Chain A
Amino acid sequence: MRPGILDHDYGAGTKLLFALIRLFSGHPVPDAAKLVFYRPDFYGARMKEFTQEAMRGPSAWSVADRELMAAYVSKVNECTFCVGAHSATATRAYQDGIRVAAVLADLESAPIEEPLRSTLRMLAKLTREGTLGADDMRAVLSAGASRQQAEDALAVCFAFNATDRLADAFGFEVLSPEGFDAGAKYLLKRGYR
């Protein structure tokens, strides 16, 4: 990770925590987790709170659907780390890797429900172009998503438009499939707190 402070400048308690996670999971602490422990009062503490609420708080979208949204937004942003992390988490949450792979390969032909497809299409446009019109949202509502579901999806999109940028700017190290799967297990058990 860059700059070097993000790799090295942690207090003794945090270093011990990283060592314990390494010991029990068998994998190094992912850079995404390290980042939120660096000066948590500046960024990590509040971002974790937002992300936990967006990804695990009450919503008509399942946890799996929201993880898929995170993976899809990350794919549009071409963020290799976050696509790996959240496609692994969505796969575990759905217990269906084919569904996740199909969405990432071609949203239009993937075997998913229309409200979810329409929502992913809207998130992709917002992520790619930085803006949206009312017609884009009317399409989501007409496909059967509720207003609250559209809002919930926008919150997922906010979290990952920020996180994807930081992953690439700070150069998060891409993990092995086993490393991403270990992270997925953790995220489904413990969330983003």
Chain B
Amino acid sequence: MRTEDKKRTARRALEDRILKGDGSTSSDQRARAFNNVGLPEPLHALLGKVATRPTQVTEADFAAAKASGLSEDQIFELVICAAVGQSTRQYDAGLAALDEAIRGKVG
């Protein structure tokens, strides 16, 4: 298998696992975290920061998520999904720009 195939395959395997595999959160919750949409407070505050301004995440954000009834394992899963989701959107945007640049060159 070519190495690029291996990287794309490995990235897809990661995404499939965190979104569709077993977990202490539902697949729906994980998909919302991954896509950074439709999140209730206080999760929206925590996961929105993970996606777009992670240096601003605080202890208070974790405390609020726990106080809303989530376990630490549930928070772990959703933070992972939010981080991988944002980096996936950026990766896809980069690959699309590259495809467009190559197509333009050929055409």
Contact = CB atoms under 8 A, between A and B. Distances in A.
Contacts of B46: 169
State which size class the interface on B falls in: 35 or more
Interface of B is mostly: helix
Interface of A is mostly: helix
Most B CB within 10 A of own CB, among A77, A135, A148, A154:
A154
Interface stretch (A15-23, A24-32, A36-44): A36-44
A11 interface: no
B11 A50 contact: yes
Interface stretch (A94-102, A159-167, A182-190): A159-167
A169 to B, nearest CB: 5
State which size class the interface on A falls in: 35 or more
B7 A53 contact: yes
Contact of A133 (B11, B51, B55, B97): B97
B43 interface: no
Nearest to B85: A162
B97 A158 contact: no
A117 B54 CA distance: 26
A2 B90 contact: no
Interface in A129-172: 130-138, 141, 147-148, 150-152, 154-155, 157-159, 161-162, 164-171
Given A132-B93, A154-B95, A168 B55 contact: yes
Contact of B18 (A43, A165, A171): A43
A57 B54 contact: no
Contact of B72 (A3, A42, A166): A3
Contact of B57 (A53, A54, A137, A169): A169
A131 B93 contact: yes
Contact of A54 (B7, B80, B90): B7
A6 B101 contact: no
A164 B54 contact: yes
A12 interface: no
What are the 4 A-B residue pairs with the smallest beta carbon separation, nearest first?
A161-B87, A137-B101, A165-B83, A134-B100
20 contacts: A5-B73, A41-B21, A43-B18, A46-B10, A53-B3, A54-B7, A59-B3, A131-B93, A132-B94, A134-B100, A141-B102, A155-B11, A158-B91, A162-B87, A165-B50, A165-B87, A167-B54, A169-B46, A169-B57, A169-B79
Given A161-B83, A166-B79, 6 more contacts: A5-B76, A46-B13, A46-B14, A131-B90, A154-B94, A171-B59
